[in-house]
Structure 1
């Protein structure tokens, strides 16, 4: 454990041996630790220099300094080093984010290889100062929820996330519950469109990653686009699709002042219904059986006093559920 404050395993062993045998000489400590006497002598010298051990007398005897004093000083030094390292990390992080800022106008870079594309996507998350916007549609090269911890950290740092999901994204088995619902619960604003023209992730107005193709090989090659007329066009495209999207309600929990609000599963169901998903797609998204899905939809219709999905959406909006 003392390695955490900068002591080697041998220094730690010698120091702890001295704690139980004050006034011992190097030979006695060497016997206790199973080390050569010359080696222990060198270790003791370093411990004396670091203030963990004091020496006295002829022949030389050694005694351990009280741990709360000696180790307290070492811990203080480590804390100073960590504080300096933290400041340096912040400086380097700012350099990293600034590198995502506009370079030459109109710059478009081609990135090849799944790992390289994934790294650039992560860089978009890190480069954003205000918001991250995304078109989300299958297929995917990353595991479900892989970027969620990074997104949640950036949200805690004040970056807003707005995502438009295609119906196919919601219907992908496990995607809704293991990723999308959790993203929304952590503060993501989400909307749904029947389809999307491309995949897209954009940091502010400074950087975007767009796949070169939408087939199975899309993840292997992508464009990295920096501030330019093309990036401005992508931003306008996102806002146009956002204005036409249906809000996806998922994740928020009811407070004591919202007891008239639907439970989480009902809110999720409403969002998927509003997104235009079929009963079969809803069942896949929520992990329900077809019978359970039909039963929950029928119960929702009954509660809202309606007979069609369109009426259900209108009634839910009237109640402030959507």
Structure 2
């Protein structure tokens, strides 16, 4: 089995160290509610993967997320490219057989927007445990005005709905986030710089994959079952899910301002709150001072601050902390 990067438990521990600035094993044990021996095992794995390193006090500090998790993200994109090549080959073989026709139990391509909506609703109605998606703004085009009632019903009966979106969706007014909030009464959301491929996975058994439009511009959706390609699609989702960062919606189903920050902005803000100069931030993150100043202006805009002093106030008011 391909190494899928840090486990959920390891990422949880890494996140606690990021939030605290530095933690020893006992402190991490208290925060996570884990036995000390298990914490030591997690820390050993985090050190091997380069996510944390020991400090002079005997505790551990976190490597910057955009550096430490870069390998996981790059692996996800590489896996996505290979997977798409396999899917494209299946699509070519399928088109030689004609559209809207099952090809064994492995692949089905549905053509036409209404046919796609109907088939997706049928698949959502079968979900028993999980619906997991890598979504992009392009997916809005295949969401009907009344949504997907069977998806809403599946979540209401306890099906877990996990979705990863690109960072750009967090700051776009309305758009993808609004649609997702309307589709699902409960949803676990994460964001990443970009989505390697748009997919929906139902119960780790069925993969739904939007295809490029047909020659006449028609909507096309591929369904994969009982295929080794499904296993690769699941691994791809796991890669992206573990590398993505969680965010939440407020009471109006909008992305909280503090969750609209990308990883670099979060690091810059954290270091500025700790008293670092622009030069020190630039040296630590491998950026130019001009880039740090530009990203700081972006932070001020997002948090509604007119000055750096007010930026610190707004960050504190929202519970943002320095590293």
- TM-score of the superposed pair, with normalisation by structure 1: 0.47
Instruction: Give TM-score scaled by structure 2 length.
Output: 0.47
Of the two structures, which has the highest relative contact order with CA contacts closer than 8 Å and spacing of 6 or more? 2
Q: Please tell me whether Structure 1 or Structure 2 has the larger radius of gyration of its CA atoms.
A: 1
